[in-house]
């Protein structure tokens, strides 16, 4: 087995997971993309980062893309002599828009592309399993890899919730009328801190309500966008996370009180509101509601997941 000559590229979208009731299950790819490039070197490791995370992320073996590439090389039975990695990041870090999943998917994708015949040795199902194993759950890495709206989960081989089950992902459809506006606050919140606020158990009534709302959300996204407000109701995780992001939950509550389907994006603190396309009255009104010091982005749903753009001559 050999490596390909010259650089390879990966383009990976931002993602929003949970989407209200779909905790650790539902994810949406958004049209905001990190661009990565890698090639094999005779020796050493060179990591370059521009944009989001520049000056803050490590530029050595600790870099998440590098770690993900190493995991994929191991899965492929390869050990390159040296690597160069270049990352142009636009996805905000630690804001609930899947920056870590984009890094993981980008890393495993680049490693597979660098190995001659890599796609035959590690198909997309294998790539998903590897990326989800690194991330710990599939709801962000699945749409980052596959694009669009994805329902994802994990099978438990022995029924005990242990680590022996495989990851799965099923693409859903998205009505062309659906777009989003994301409100990105200036202060990050770590996923670990947000998850640490969740209780070990929830009332059965809340779990049942969320199951119904999650099913409704799948239908709402696919062709009944008028049901998005009801379909994004949540009782499992958002309220518990309020101490870590009170401004975000206040914005969600204010938007929903005005009939806007709004949720915490991923583990937060970004707020995602469903809209009906760029330039519409609804979208313009949402952009005008951006809190002072925050950023508001009008984004389409990305039908494409990870891809390899052509290299310029």
Structure tokens at 59: 């530029």
Q: Is 97 annotated as a binding residue?
A: yes
Structure tokens at 51: 């944009």
Q: Is 11 annotated as a binding residue?
A: no
Chain-centroid distance of CA 235 in Å reads: 22
- The full DSSP string for 132-144 is HHHHSSSTTHHHH
Given a contact cutoff of 8 angstroms between Cβ atoms, the answer to whether 34 and 88 are in contact is yes
Q: Is 266 annotated as a binding residue?
A: no
Q: How many CA atoms lie within 13 A of 298 on its CB side?
A: 15
Q: Is 98 annotated as a binding residue?
A: yes
Q: Determine the Cα–Cα distance for residues 230 and 221; give it in Å rounded to an integer.
A: 12
Hunting for tokens 């770590």 — which residue is that? Answer: 190
Q: Determine the Cα–Cα distance for residues 296 and 282; give it in Å rounded to an integer.
A: 14
Q: Determine the Cα–Cα distance for residues 143 and 149; give it in Å rounded to an integer.
A: 6
Query: If you ran DSSP here, which 8-state letter would residue 307 be given?
Result: B
| Torsion angles phi and psi, residue 264, rounded to 5 | -75, 130
Given a contact cutoff of 8 angstroms between Cβ atoms, the answer to whether 26 and 19 are in contact is yes
Q: Is 100 annotated as a binding residue?
A: yes
Q: Is 93 annotated as a binding residue?
A: yes
Q: Determine the Cα–Cα distance for residues 293 and 289; give it in Å rounded to an integer.
A: 12
Q: Determine the Cα–Cα distance for residues 94 and 210; give it in Å rounded to an integer.
A: 26
Q: Is 222 annotated as a binding residue?
A: no
**Nearest CA-CA partner of 256 in 280, 284, 224, 231:** 231
Region for 188 from its dihedrals, namely left if φ exceeds 0, alpha if ψ lies in -120 to 50, beta otherwise:
beta
Q: Is 102 annotated as a binding residue?
A: yes
Structure tokens at 26: 């539902």
Binding residues: 92-102
Binding residues for ATP: 92-102
């Amino acid at each position: 087995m050999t490596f390909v000559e010259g650089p390879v590229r990966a383009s990976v979208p931002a993602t929003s997971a949970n989407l209200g009731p779909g905790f650790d299950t539902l994810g949406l790819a958004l049209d905001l993309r990190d661009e990565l490039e890698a090639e094999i070197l005779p020796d050493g490791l060179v990591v370059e980062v521009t944009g989001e995370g520049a000056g803050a992320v490590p530029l050595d073996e600790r870099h998440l893309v590098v770690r993900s590439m190493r995991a994929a090389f191991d899965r492929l039975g390869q050990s390159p002599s040296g690597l160069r990695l270049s990352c142009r990041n636009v996805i905000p870090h630690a804001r609930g828009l899947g920056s870590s999943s984009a890094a993981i998917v980008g890393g495993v994708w680049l490693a597979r592309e660098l190995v001659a015949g890599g796609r035959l040795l590690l198909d997309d199902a294998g790539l998903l399993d590897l990326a989800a194993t690194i991330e710990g759950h599939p709801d962000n890495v699945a749409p980052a890899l596959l694009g669009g709206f994805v329902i994802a989960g994990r099978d438990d081989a022995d029924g005990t919730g242990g680590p022996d089950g495989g990851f799965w992902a099923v693409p859903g459809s998205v009505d062309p009328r659906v777009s989003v506006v994301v409100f990105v606050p200036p202060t990050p919140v770590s996923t670990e801190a947000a998850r640490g606020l969740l209780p070990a158990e929830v009332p059965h009534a809340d779990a049942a309500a969320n199951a119904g709302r999650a099913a409704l959300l799948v239908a709402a996204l696919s062709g009944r966008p008028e049901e998005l407000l009801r379909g994004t109701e949540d009782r499992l995780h958002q309220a518990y996370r309020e101490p870590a992001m009170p401004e975000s939950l206040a914005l969600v509550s204010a938007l929903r009180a005005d009939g806007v389907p709004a949720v915490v994006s991923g583990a937060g603190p970004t707020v995602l509101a469903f809209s009906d396309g760029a330039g519409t009255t609804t979208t313009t009104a949402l952009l005008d509601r951006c809190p002072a010091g925050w950023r508001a982005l009008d984004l389409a749903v990305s039908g494409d997941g990870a891809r390899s753009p052509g290299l310029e001559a």
